[in-house]
Structure 1
Amino acid sequence: YNYHIKALEVMPDHIHIFIDVPQTVAPCDVVRTLKSISTIELFRAFPKLKQFYAKCGVLWSRGYFVSTVGHISEATVIKYIEEQKNDK
């Protein structure tokens, strides 16, 4: 997909991810792709997780927040994401 993860922090109930993608890709498509691939990989790694979610629904919620870098620097975004691990 030519996506490049620049920063990532997994929180108990959400994920912060800073990702560089081609400008031709819609943000909703990026989110859909990331949720789909991560679900497949998690279910492959943890089969019991797949059994659980087969009974109760989907792994990821429908919601997400997307913003672009422009009014702040990449370094600011990366610093913010890295600081999230200190706030857990």
Structure 2
Amino acid sequence: VLKDGIDTRLRELILEKQDEYEYRVLEMEIMPDHVHLLMDVNPKLGVYYVVNRIKGYSSSVLRNEFPSLKRKLPTLWTHSKFISSVGAVTLEAVRKYIEDQKNV
């Protein structure tokens, strides 16, 4: 679903909300059916808050700009998400993992 221009627009939407939702994208890979993000998030807002805002905003805009999404899916995003802090591995290892996802 996240291809044919939808992926490019999603990238723009995620990046444009950084100041408003107080996060920085350090690495991003958009796969056909999910997104990998390495982010620095304001701890006062929290990761769950930021991810939910990104999902809500991007779903609204993408479904408006790409009406075919409304026909294909009842919702763009599921309620699930995997969130982990970087600590057990280096920041560079996480960056490399995300970058390498396009090659899998």
Distance, in Å, in 1 between the alignment partners of 2:57 and 2:74 is 17
TM-score (norm 1): 0.82
Match of 1:17 among 37, 50, 64: 37
Report the residue type matching 1:57 in the other structure.
Answer: P
Aligned pairs, number: 84
TM-score (norm 2): 0.71
3-state SS of the aligned residue for 1:18? strand
From the CA coordinates, give the structure whose radius of gyration is larger.
1
Give % identity.
Answer: 39
Report the residue type matching 1:20 in the other structure.
Answer: D
Distance, in Å, in 2 between the alignment partners of 1:63 and 1:39 is 14
RMSD: 1.6
- Stretches of 4+ moved more than 3 A in 1? none
Larger relative contact order (Cα-Cα within 8 Å, sequence gap ≥ 6): 1
